[in-house]
Amino acid sequence: ALTTFIRRNKQKWSHLEVKNRQGHDDSNAGTVDPIKFGMAPLEPNVFELCYQVTMLPGMWGELSRMLTITPRFLLKNESTWLDIVVKQVGSPDTSRILIKRGEIAPFYWADGNLPELVCARPNEDGFKWSGGFDLCTLGMLPLRLRLLDSVNDNSILSSLRVNVEIQPGTGGIGTMISLRDEDPSGEGSLFRIENHSPFQVYYSQDGI
């Protein structure tokens, strides 16, 4: 399996305009007609795909091939009650992807010029975007959920658990990113304190 980058360039320049941008002298540079020379702005999206070629059983034997193309990044919402939105760090909110509970959605970069980091938050009012994380870093990591300054801190949500693992059948290229909310009861939580002593214990964050 390999990774293919399909990118839409922001600008398609004519041959004359490219020469002018490289410092060549051209007295007619100011008379370039953008319609005549095909200069048109395009979206800066980057689509990363995985493709795999396998032998297909049939009458042609080893000559038969099957090409399978899948998104390189798949996002999975493992929450049972919470919808989650995800976007590339630095991109506008209009580029966010809604992943409803229990669903899987492909992820593509909104802008190839921005850092290849992803942030997430619950699809509810009052939450800020989380910090960015790398989709190529395998393993589990916590995302701290922060509330807007104007919102009272009475939410039961404080963090999301992110698990990045390899997609089967992609040759180690495709990744599955699973997101799950923290259980308010503490089961499977990122941080958990259990008091097994016969004494009452008080705890707080240092410095508060």
CB 145 within 8 A of CB 159: yes
Q: What is the pLDDT of residue 87?
A: 96
Stretch 110-117: mean pLDDT: 91
Stretch 165-170: mean pLDDT: 83
| Predicted TM-score (pTM) above 0.75 | no
Nearest to 123 by CA among 138, 101, 142, 95: 101
Stretch 173-195: mean pLDDT: 78
Q: What is the pLDDT of residue 159?
A: 84
Residue 141 forms beta bridges with which residues? 162
Q: What is the pLDDT of residue 145?
A: 84
28 or 154, which is more confident: 154
The helix (H) or strand (E) run that includes residue 16 is helix 15-21
Q: What's the pLDDT tens digit per position in 53-94? A: 888 877 776 778 888 888 999 999 998 888 999 999 999 999
Strands (E) in the chain, as ranges, are: 2-7, 46-55, 65-71, 73-77, 84-88, 97-99, 104-107, 118-122, 139-144, 159-166, 175-181
